[in-house]
Structure 1
């Protein structure tokens, strides 16, 4: 198990991030925003595929973990 000891907030583009963990906010019944779609494209659509496979719709307190 990993314990987070520090969280950095940034306005950098995902593609310029050098971190090994990324949190994304996806609001209920909403699609990926333009920046998230760009990230999804970079990840060969793995983000949108996992969301669809899991039936994730972003309800309050709902989480999806993608490795």
Structure 2
């Protein structure tokens, strides 16, 4: 398992050779870049305080 940290590299921790490969697969899976995912997630949680996803922290939270 890996976590998303928009402030630092995560590709190696997730077993990818480089950040670009991780970014391509992340976008293919979610439809968003990792940075945009974090932005959308934070916006979602601001609009829905107490949602179940609020208990799933990201390192950047």
TM-score relative to the length of structure 2: 0.31
Instruction: Report which of the two has the higher share of helix.
Output: 2
TM-score relative to the length of structure 1: 0.29
